[in-house]
Chain A
Amino acid sequence: MSDRLSVLKTYKLYVGGKFPRSESGRVYEVTDSKGNWLANAPLSSRKDARDAVVAARKAFGGWSGATAYNRGQILYRVAEMLEGRREQFAAEVADAEGLSKAKAAAQVDAAIDRWVWYAGWSDKVAQIAGAANPVAGPYFNLSSPEPTGVVAVLAPQESSFLGLVSVIAPAIVTGNTVVVVTGEKSPLPALSLGEVLATSDLPGGVVNVLSGRVNELGGPLAAHQDVNAIDLAGAAADAELVKALETAAADNLKRVLRPRATDWTADPGTERMLAFLETKTVWHPMGV
């Protein structure tokens, strides 16, 4: 009896809740750590990046306007779906990062736990980042954090799933929408994450996943006038690129999260959430 021939999967982008191929029609070879071919991933173009920003902007009103409780519920649902696909992600992470099965599974478990941790922040972040301000006058004065808008995220190159989850979840839990550029060499866990998000009640466009070259996609996203913030984690290895992207981001005063050496297994703290929040302060007279 011959071995069964497996069915190959065509990996696709995840944009606006749909799974398009790159509009460019291009793909690139994705290999495991030993150089064995795994799949062809879409090689996203500038146009794909622009389309993803449009989708993210369109989704922003609804997502940022949802109640924090509702966003939390949806993020918990994502964690549940991730748990169900644990084996698949472990296999993809093992291939992507050259890890043993056990180590890859540990990465996936940490990533799911991290997603749950961030989900729980949805209805708490306003309480730790907001303030009732005792001003010297008869006014009610309240500061609350609000999402900054569309966040472009260059996902870390070295951690294909735990790192990826650690940059997406903190941006969306507070109500931002995201265009994420996957790790260049290891995009498959990220593209599979898109499939999970699509079946998790997360509104289309809240997270948009692009695989491709950081060098090619970083520039258009950093310069895009309808992107409000950018996380440069994925450009960490290239100081020149970081400088160029930060310079381009100055054009519309994007909020920039600079890359720094990060241990993705460590307690992430609140930094990545707070980086993409604005503080709104509302005054109203008090009196009768």
Chain B
Amino acid sequence: MSSAFEYAPAPESRAVVDIAPSYGLFIDGEFADAAGGKVFKTVSPANEEVLSEVAQASAEDVDRAVKAARKAFEKWSALPGAERAKYLFRIARLIQERSRELAVLESLDNGKPIRESRDSDLPLVAAHFFYYAGWADKLGHAGYGADPKPLGVAGQVIPWNFPLLMLAWKIAPALACGNTVVLKPAETTPLSALFFADICRQAGLPKGVVNILTGDGSTGAELVAHPDVNKVAFTGSTEVGKAIARTVAGTDKKLTLELGGKAANIVFDDAPVDQAVEGIVNGIFFNQGHVCCAGSRLLVQESVQDELLDALKRRMSTLRVGDPLDKNTDIGAINSAEQLARIKALADAGESEGAERWAPACELPDSGYWFAPTLFTGVTQAHRIAQEEIFGPVLSVLTFRTPEEAVAKANNTPYGLSAGVWTEKGSRILWMANKLRAGIVWSNTFNKFDPASPFGGYKESGFGREGGRHGLEAYLDV
């Protein structure tokens, strides 16, 4: 669809971020090469440009980092909460000061639009540190006893979809409660965690309190299995989450898992159409659909299906796909070739199983990893695209007639992370919110996040909560 006014490019400057040609591991306050000397490259998914080379941490490096964290734990956990709070406040302020640099870095390494890294990720990252800074000296009021104790060394493994935000979700509550951490960022998005190491240095954080190990899945597996890790926190796929649960079985390690989802976004016939369409678009196309709580199944009441889909298609035609650093971009690059292949395979399965595929006319860049926003209609519950997490900008549309049917269909996956409900009727919202088996229910909104709001799933979407007062429990011996 062409419009009367085309957008001129509005690129953010990448000069605000200075990426070194190579980075080591951040252990005990120092950057050091991996013991085995192995490195791997991290590329910009938008154009496959090599951004930097980072170290591949081995079992030996994991052991060194855990030892550093263990050593630091004694002093860090003994600090008065008010002192830990001030370190976290410092970190929060430094993140705010450097947020433009970090946003550009995040968009370069991850492929997400600068509009989202700048306006969504970075403000939330800072907010998480502010929020948990305030808890550090009030833990006795959190409802976990008068003087709850930290667990010790936390091994944390985070995904590539929100590299810095997931880091904040993991590190802020861990440090507030008095734990020390060894964090492994995802293989394809290691850079912002390494920049965060520099923020820890600027903040004067004691050595060893935060350690960053770059590497692939094998590094994460070593970290999770390390016998001197007291707490394991993982965000990622359900498959890996199950493997981690098996690894920690029979140990004393405390475990929290934030895993996959296949959220239903349920639209009733009395929903405000324009707002619902914005919510649907935000629900599935935010961050290229690389969101575990993405509203990837649209359940629309049969009587308004045609009207809603027309409006949705119209809206999808205005989405701009392209350069993540362009401030006008709505949908950036798919994070990796591997992920793109998975999205393509599942979308193809949707077609071959009989669903009808639609995407707006949309020119994709020649290099990099791209996938146009896509809609499937005529989807049934048995289709793979209605059951499996695609983790990409692909929306499957199903219909329903009654609220009971909507609930039954919404709950009909092994997942239970999030759900959306769109209706003007208050009693129906409350009824639906009550019946949906999901950790987060967004009514007449979608994909809202806040450090004060607990986040986490039911069923195979994992266990434990991050955020809010509930998020403290994961890092306290209670």
| Interchain CB contact under 8 A, A283 and B442 | yes
Interface size, A (range): 20 to 34
| Interchain CB contact under 8 A, B429 and A284 | yes
Q: Which residues of B contact A148 (CB under 8 A)?
A: 458
| Interchain CB contact under 8 A, A251 and B468 | no
Chain A residues 171-223 with CB under 8 Å of chain B are none
Q: Which residues of B contact A271 (CB under 8 A)?
A: 478
Known: A137-B450, A281-B439. A253 touches B257 (CB 8 A): yes
Residue of A nearest to B245 (CB): A250
Q: Answer yes or no: B462 CB below 8 A from chain A CBs.
A: yes
| Interchain CB contact under 8 A, A247 and B127 | no
Q: Answer yes or no: A7 CB below 8 A from chain B CBs.
A: no
| Interchain CB contact under 8 A, A283 and B245 | no
B429 to chain A, nearest CB (A): 7
| Interchain CB contact under 8 A, A253 and B468 | no
Chain B residues 422-478 with CB under 8 Å of chain A are 429, 433, 438-445, 448, 450, 452-456, 458-460, 462-463, 465, 468-470, 478
Q: Which residues of B contact A143 (CB under 8 A)?
A: 453-454, 468, 470
A218 to chain B, nearest CB (A): 13
Q: Which residues of A contact B246 (CB under 8 A)?
A: 247, 250
Q: Answer yes or no: B249 CB below 8 A from chain A CBs.
A: yes
Residue of B nearest to A243 (CB): B250
Q: Answer yes or no: A8 CB below 8 A from chain B CBs.
A: no
Q: Which residues of A contact B238 (CB under 8 A)?
A: 253
Known: A148-B458, A247-B250, A252-B460. A141 touches B453 (CB 8 A): yes
A246 to chain B, nearest CB (A): 4
Known: A133-B450, A246-B250, A250-B242. A283 touches B469 (CB 8 A): no
Known: A280-B439, A281-B440. A136 touches B242 (CB 8 A): no
Bound-state CA distance A148–B457 (Å) is: 11
A288 to chain B, nearest CB (A): 14
Q: Answer yes or no: A278 CB below 8 A from chain B CBs.
A: yes
Q: Which residues of B contact A251 (CB under 8 A)?
A: 242
Q: Answer yes or no: A69 CB below 8 A from chain B CBs.
A: no
Return 19 A-B CB contacts under 8 Å, by A number.
A128-B143, A129-B143, A133-B468, A135-B450, A136-B127, A137-B448, A137-B450, A243-B250, A250-B246, A252-B414, A252-B460, A271-B478, A278-B458, A279-B454, A280-B438, A282-B443, A283-B440, A283-B441, A284-B445
Inter-chain pairs besides A131-B454, A280-B440, A281-B440, 17 sampled, C-beta below 8 Å? A133-B453, A135-B452, A139-B445, A139-B450, A141-B450, A141-B452, A148-B458, A247-B246, A250-B245, A253-B242, A253-B259, A253-B460, A271-B478, A279-B454, A279-B456, A283-B445, A284-B444
Please report B residues at the A interface, Cβ cutoff 8 Å: 127, 143, 238, 241-243, 245-246, 249-250, 252, 257, 259, 414, 429, 433, 438-445, 448, 450, 452-456, 458-460, 462-463, 465, 468-470, 478
